[in-house]
Amino acid sequence: MRPVTVRILHPEAGPRAAVLGRWLADERARVAVRHVEAFRAAGAADVAIVSGPPDATSFGARLRGLVRAERPAGLVVLGSGAIPLASARDLRDFVGAAGSDAPVALANNIYSADVVAVAGASNTLGDLPDLPSDNALPRWLAEVAGYEVSDLRRRWRLAVDIDGPLDLVLLDVDRGAPVDLERVRAALAGARRVAADPGSELLVAGRTSAATIGWLERSTASRSRVLVEERGLRTGLPGQRAPASVLGDLIERDGPESLGRTLARYGDAALVDTRVLMAARFGRDEARWPDAEDRYASDLLLAEAITDPWLRALTESAALASIPIVLGGHTLVGPGSRLALRTRSVSPWR
């Protein structure tokens, strides 16, 4: 097997980061340190964290520069918040794929990648275009570079990614949080009660998947109402239409303060991917969305901490609704629904 390099990309808290952004960066750094030791144990020859302040460099340009500078034979690249629930077997599979002599690649999910192993990386990734994110890398390898690309999407735990403070709550690693988490914990507890009640209906809206829907049908007692919207939102592939959302259209018609009332018409509890609503209102470019600190506060139902009027009204409506509503991103309505709706701890730190 060829020697394998692992690079863990860690964005530090930027100069504009406030309390939630700094907390998130610190916890992601902890995950990165754990990954260093775990990948070494899995057989990687060279494992390091590449950190720096946030900037406008695209994922493609960053990875291209790294490969040209280091010339790795086999490469595993991931973000510092990626795959916190990965097992030793999972990491060995990524290292084994990167060390292959054949032109192969392995991702946690070919359509939404957080970790990608690439064999013969120095021969291929030096010509990588300016891909906007890691999500598009597996498809570029398959469609442009001629690689045989496979993924591990059946292992739901590998789709869990720490994108925001809510994910720390879902992972039960939120001890020492710098803000009050009682509202979001109460909303999660309410959603769990609904999911356990055969006479109730749980609504899930956003970038969820057939695998998650199947899990809901098998593992919750409640009925499921699912609105699947904007899968592939962050791939940034050419020719994608502008984001749109049925739920977003209702909110645009009736105002953000209508969210709680609207969701209560359709379910007894709700898990909502608000990034779809933001993309529908503000466009695909996240630079036009409410800033990260506002998004993180919304996920924790801390409406009073939000500066953007639209997002503050949306969050306040959810927090004051007659049903429990949990707001978040892709993880919440995807693999994180298993964490949100189960009662036992799945903490990777225990």
Q: Rounded to an integer, what distance in angstroms lies between the CA atom of residue 342 and that of residue 107?
A: 27
Dist. CA 116–CA 91, nearest whole Å: 11
Torsion-angle region of residue 172: left (phi > 0), alpha (psi -120 to 50) or beta?
left
**pLDDT confidence of residue 343:** 57
Per the listing, tokens 């409640």 go with: 222
> Is residue 135 over pLDDT 70?
yes
Sort residue 232 into left (φ over 0), alpha (ψ -120 to 50) or beta: left
- In this predicted model, which residue has the larger pLDDT, 171 or 56? 171
Distance of CA 171 to the CA centre of its chain: 13
What pLDDT is attached to residue 235? 57
The encoded tokens of residue 199 equal 């006479």
* Residue range 220-269, pLDDT digits in tens: 999 999 999 988 776 555 667 889 999 999 999 999 999 999 999 999 99
What whole-number distance in Å separates Cα of residue 278 and Cα of residue 290? Answer: 8
Q: What is the pLDDT of residue 241?
A: 80
Residue for token digits 């049908």? 217
Count of alpha carbons within 13 angstroms of residue 228, beta-carbon side: 10
How many Å apart are CA 240 and CA 253, to the nearest integer? 25
Name the pLDDT band for 14 (thresholds 50, 70, 90): confident
Question: What's the pTM value of the predicted model, to 2 decimals?
Answer: 0.91
Q: How far is Cα 138 from Cα 117, in angstroms, rounded to an integer?
A: 9
State how far Cα 249 lies from the chain centre: 24
pLDDT tens track for 141-175: 999 999 999 999 999 999 999 999 999 999 999 88
